[in-house]
A and B are shown apart, each in its own frame.
Chain A
């Protein structure tokens, strides 16, 4: 049977811990389902105390002596605490001190069901903003393997923006390209599932949409594979689960626009705090919202 994303993460981790002198650090790793079944029951697991500031520093310390630590942060909002030493040391130590500090940061996200103000955030754009990190958001087993290989081959700390709603994913997500598409819609992270649904709906309606996956946020993949569909459709939209304002969606849209001189808009979570009750949720744009946005852009152009 094919592996789910969660199983893929667990098996890559197992190999790392058992054969590669790897180490994994985080809070409550072994309790409550082993972080959604992504952590194997094996050696080299370090249960950190609930120390959300020092934790990032401890992981960084492991990295500078060559242990290639996996650092698990169970909810991305906690990155605002955990990021201090990652941003200020892990990401800079190669440049400043000539010592690489490759921490593999597994930042898990989720949303909905009352996860509310501090368990539903996406913070990858913060790590795009500061120098020194590679930033990606893998949603499939194959993508995760690519990311892991890239991490082991390089020397940079890597921010891996995960989303719990994708952990059962088995299949890969291919791009969808139409010869005569009216728009190219790019999806980042978990929003890709919604973008895919939206572009399918629109294409059925007769509005042909290219659908492009963005796995690597930093460095941003600006290959022909990413740019050509936009050059053909002459209109673009970038969707992300994180906040839109000054976030990954706006940043990527700007880069695409700069490269192609073609108009590209951004769509992400709204500029307001998230509340617990359903009406205050504010995460990944819904399929409906993406559909409406595309219709609006196409109308605007014509």
Chain B
């Protein structure tokens, strides 16, 4: 929570913060429904939950409006935060023809061309060179590319980002750094940070935690000077794949954010209203699709 202090100088925009909170609650409640449907075997494909990591996409989406979006397997959060069609996401997870890839991509392959979001086929980090190529080919389209700390190690990731820096391509790269690749911690895999490597090729970089205010101010600073990279530290609550959990997570950004909002004078009842509204919305969304069976 000390990060709130970092931002003392900036004015607190209540509406923006409540929007972000609502998006985070939407994602959390959506994912809870995914867990339920998966545990009850309504969902038969593997699922990659964003629970715990909601703040990143919720915050980035409030200050950056890309033409094209490239994500990897853990992307329900980005899909929802940027306004992807939730009905099609539910249908996709249920493996149906009405899904956003007609049931072919499943949880890791979600896409929605209405928001410029392309599907991920499954090779971690593939979305980085693809995003770079899309920015190169499309010309003057802003691009968001989200990947993980594991994917950051893939051979083709740094090279593609350096190419983006060389060619000044308008891409905002975000690493959702949960310090895990499946279950292996970063310290067991490498002794370097991608921010350090990218500074060497002249790309503006920040390494921050997933506090929404900090994310927004960082995105605002960087988005006028793309390409840029934000390594955003976060905490995955559930298993890499599936809905299980190993012990309780060391941090819940949603809870921390809620406390922060209270401290800023937002009332408990207003917060509760948002939590209830998103909960009911997601319950009804899932109920509607499950009843269709």
Q: Is B150 an interface residue (CB 8 A)?
A: yes
A126 interface contact, C-beta 8 A: no
- The contact of A276 among B105, B182, B184, by CB within 8 Å, is B105
Residues of B near A27 (CB, < 8 A) are 181, 184
A49–B153 CB distance below 8 A: yes
- How far is B182's CA from A119's CA once the two chains are assembled, in angstroms? 15
Complex CA distance for A277 and B100, rounded to whole angstroms: 12
Binds A, one of B119-127, B206-214, B260-268: B119-127
Q: Are B155 and A51 in contact (CB under 8 A)?
A: yes
Contact across chains for A50 and B189 when beta carbons are under 8 A apart:
yes
Q: With A30-B184, A116-B106, A277-B106 given, is the CB distance from A51 to B45 under 8 Å?
A: no
Residues on B with beta carbons closer than 8 Å to the beta carbon of A118? 121-123
Chain B residues with CB under 8 Å of A30's CB are 184
Tell me what chain B mostly uses at the interface: helix, strand, loop, or mixed. Answer: loop
**Which of A48, A50, A117, A279 has the most chain B CB atoms inside 10 A of its CB?**
A50
Whether a CB of chain B sits under 8 angstroms from the CB of A11 is no
Interfacial chain A residues near B151, Cβ < 8 Å = 50
Cβ-defined contact, B46 with A50, below 8 A: no
**Judging by beta carbons under 8 Å apart, are B123 and A81 in contact?**
yes
Q: Is B109 an interface residue (CB 8 A)?
A: yes
Contact call A32/B183, Cβ cutoff below 8 A: yes
CB contacts under 8 Å to B, within A30-50, are: 30-32, 47-50
Instruction: Determine if B156 is an interface residue (Cβ-Cβ < 8 Å).
Output: yes
The interface residues of chain A lying within 8 Å CB-to-CB of B183 are 28, 31-32
Q: Is A54 an interface residue (CB 8 A)?
A: yes
Within 8 A of A (CB), among B90-123: 95-96, 101-109, 121-123
A122, chain B: closest CB distance, angstroms: 16
Question: A204 on the interface (CB 8 Å rule)?
Answer: no
Which of A47, A53, A277 has a CB less than 8 Å from the CB of B95? A277
Q: How many residues of A contact B (CB 8 A)?
A: 30
Q: Which of A101-128 contact B (CB under 8 A)?
A: 113-119
Query: In this assembly, does A52 line the interface, its C-beta being within 8 Å of a C-beta of chain B?
Result: yes
The reply to whether the CB of B190 lies closer than 8 angstroms to some CB of chain A is yes
Contact B44 A47 (CB under 8 A): no
Q: Which residues of B contact A48 (CB under 8 A)?
A: 189
B127 to chain A, nearest CB (A): 13
**Does B154 count as interface, using CB distance less than 8 angstroms?**
yes
Q: B40 contacts the other chain (Cβ, under 8 Å)?
A: no
CB within 8 Å of A: which B236-287 residues: 240
Q: In the complex, what residues of B have CB within 8 A of residue A81's CB?
A: 123, 155
Answer whether residue B10 sits at the interface, using C-beta atoms and an 8 A cutoff: no
Asked whether A278 is an interface residue with its Cβ less than 8 Å from the other chain, the reply is: yes
Question: Contact: B182 with A32, CB < 8 Å?
Answer: yes
Contact A275 B105 (CB under 8 A): yes
Contacts of A51 in B (CB 8 A): 153-155
Q: Determine which of A32, A54, A119, A279 lies in contact with B103 in the assembled complex, contact meaning CB atoms within 8 Å.
A: A279
Q: Tell yes or no: B2 within 8 A of A by CB.
A: no
Q: Which of A28, A31, A114, A275 contacts B44 (CB 8 A)?
A: A114
B103 touches A53 (CB 8 A): no
Chain B CB within 8 A of A148 CB:
no
Q: Please, how many angstroms separate the alpha-carbon atoms of A113 and B44 in the complex?
A: 7
A47 in contact with B184 given A53-B156, A78-B123, A280-B103 (CB within 8 Å): yes
Docked CA distance A253–B151 (Å): 40
Chain A residues with CB under 8 A of B154: 50-53
Whether the Cβ atoms of B95 and A117 lie closer than 8 Å is: no
B181: which of A28, A78, A275 is its contact (CB, 8 Å)?
A28
Residues of B in contact with A (beta carbons under 8 Å apart): 44-46, 95-96, 101-109, 121-125, 150-156, 181-184, 188-190, 240
14 CB-based A-B contacts, threshold 8 Å: A30-B184, A47-B188, A53-B156, A78-B123, A113-B44, A113-B46, A114-B45, A114-B106, A116-B105, A275-B103, A275-B104, A276-B103, A277-B106, A280-B104
Q: Which residues of A contact B (CB under 8 A)?
A: 27-28, 30-32, 47-54, 77-78, 81, 113-119, 273, 275-280
A-B pairs, top 4 by smallest CB distance, nearest first, are A118-B122, A114-B45, A276-B106, A275-B104
